[in-house]
Amino acid sequence: MPDNLRKQPFNLPLRRLASDTAPSPDVYALQALLSQYGYLAGDYCPGHYDQATARAVTQFQSFYRLYPAEDGVCDEATINHLNQPRCGVPDPSPAHRAAHGRLSPFVTVGAQWPTVQLTFRFLNSTPDLPQNRQRDIIREAFNRWAQVSALRFTEVAANVASQLTVAFHSGNHGDGSSFDNGGGPSGNTLAHAFFPPPRGGSFAGALHFDEFELWKDQPGGPGTRLYNVTLHEIGHLLGLDHSQDQNAIMYAYYAENRNDLRADDIAGIQSLYGAPTPGPVALAPGQQVSGHLPGTGAEVRYQATLQNKLLVRLSGPPGQDFDLYVRFGAPAGRNAGEFDQVSYGVTADELVTINNPRAGTYHMLVHSYQGAGNYTLEVEVT
């Protein structure tokens, strides 16, 4: 997007706001922010620092562990926090946080996907980064969540139905949460995402980036790192709410150096979907192993280290459809684009041949596209 069309960040003036503040546009803007982030609802007097507004300020300060010298006062430290770029998803209510009844800062929303096998697709892209690179960044973020949980993500084509979708939008884009490029209270929103059903409503599983932002790949210079924001928003897609841990990726506010999952994020996602499945089974060249896939979506991982030509042969039961994925150097999710070779015919018998392979470790994934049954997997070196 041309620079002259970039958004104007919202900045509430840094001054003390309290019950003795005269009605003003600053109080009105403060109320708009508190309402947007889930702290102010119901009866309050617009533009007046009334009891409802003071209570909302106190709740915001409590969640973000801000301690003003005067109770019920919106001091400069609080306003400075409110002015920072952040996720547009409202923060969890005090009642919802209290219902968790534990010390961990992470919060779940009470909704999760009924399966650990999730599909995602790209609906469009941003001109800020080459399309291949921006999509690799987003794939890396999905894979990072898969590395710490039992979740597995598969990319599908844009015209194929999926649980999760990724898109860039500007202004009013039809989901009831408009992006703002004109300096209004929504001007600091980077992106938002919708929780799993039923919490996410008709937009459940949708991730929307603000196209008015300048999206970048690496740290340094102007712009917002796409990876950091994607990693955060995927947490919402999976059922995580905002965390009070300022080191966690699920902390609502953006920081360029907050770019990985922390213990709080991992504890939260594993509370919903469980820990990662055991690591891949090591195979020696020439070894044949047997296994069982209990049903559609099941998978088993293997690895082999070699220095010669590699053949990997999968033999499965008649009438079933199993797939074989092979990748050099590092494990991956189940996105075909992440693997060096993929064999997915319409039967359970597959063969991958890699000529002149690199010396090192190859990772293999046996996946049931459809059906169940026993199989054998054989690694040959010639």
The pLDDT tens digits for 10-64 are 677 778 888 888 888 999 999 999 999 999 988 899 999 999 999 999 999 999 9
Catalytic residues, which ones? 233
Superfamily, domain 94-273: Collagenase (Catalytic Domain) (3.40.390.10)
Q: Is 236 helix (H, G, I), strand (E, B) or coil?
A: helix
Amino acid at 100: H
Among candidate residues 88, 105, 129, the one with its CA nearest the CA of residue 232: 88
Instruction: Please check whether residue 294 is in contact with residue 371, taking contact to mean a CB–CB distance below 8 angstroms.
Output: no
Q: Would you tell me the crossing angle of helices 263-273 and 226-238 to the nearest 10 degrees?
A: 30
Q: Please state whether the predicted TM-score (pTM) of the whole model is above 0.75.
A: no
Among candidate residues 114, 109, 104, 147, the one with its CA nearest the CA of residue 267: 104
Which residues in the chain are classed under CATH 2.60.120.380? 281-381
Class of domain 281-381: mainly beta
CA distance 217 to 223: 9
CATH tag, 3-82: 1.10.101.10
Helix (H) / strand (E) element for 145: namely helix 131-147
The pLDDT tens digits for 107-142 are 888 899 999 999 999 999 999 999 999 999 999 999
CA distance 62 to 261: 24
Which residues in the chain are classed under CATH 3.40.390.10? 94-273
Q: What are the strands, taking DSSP E only, across 159-249?
A: 164-169, 191-193, 206-210, 215-216, 224-225
Instruction: Please check whether residue 335 is in contact with residue 152, taking contact to mean a CB–CB distance below 8 angstroms.
Output: no
Which residues in the chain are classed under CATH 1.10.101.10? 3-82
Residues above pLDDT 70, as percent of the chain: 88
Q: What are the strands, taking DSSP E only, across 77-141?
A: 117-122
The pLDDT tens digits for 174-208 are 998 888 765 566 668 999 999 999 999 999 999 99
